[in-house]
Amino acid sequence: MKAAVVTGISLGIGKVICETLVGDGYFVHGIYRRGKGETKRIKQLLESVEIYYIDASDRQSTDSFTERMKAFEFDAIVNTTAMINFHPVDEFDYSDWDETLEANLSVPLRI
């Protein structure tokens, strides 16, 4: 059976991609940060899904996931997770910048 990692499976395009891949015969390792209720519903409806909570802005959370995933081989990795912190320019905060870069650039690279 083919296998894939899909980030952001609880909402929008990530959810649709997860459902489509399972329909095409994939086993999906799905990652979510928000939408726990919807994620549980997906798991109940789709047998070929394993779900993991990851805070993409937290490197330790992501590293723990990637360590667990070393036991598997994947045919696809689909990143649909993205985040941004909006603030007025005069309230710019480098910690928000770092969190955004971690979630949007570093996580997909490490996975």
Region label for 8, one of left (φ > 0), alpha (ψ between -120 and 50) or beta (otherwise): left
Q: Is the dihedral of CA 105, 50, 32, 59 positive or negative?
A: negative
Q: What pLDDT score does 6 carry?
A: 94
Output the domain CATH number for residue 86. Answer: 3.40.50.720
**Per-residue pLDDT tens for 41-91?**
887 788 899 999 988 777 888 889 889 988 999 999 999 887 777 888 888
| Per-residue pLDDT, 44 | 79
Domain tally for the chain?
A: 1
Q: What is the pTM of this model?
A: 0.80
- What domain range includes position 58? 3-110
Alpha carbons 91 and 111: distance in angstroms, whole number: 32
36-45 and 12-23 are packed helices; what angle lies between their axes, rounded to 10 degrees? 10
Q: How confident is the model at residue 101 (pLDDT cuts 50, 70, 90)?
A: confident
Dist. CA 61–CA 53, nearest whole Å? 9
Span of 15-24, 48-57, 66-75, 99-108 with lowest mean pLDDT:
99-108
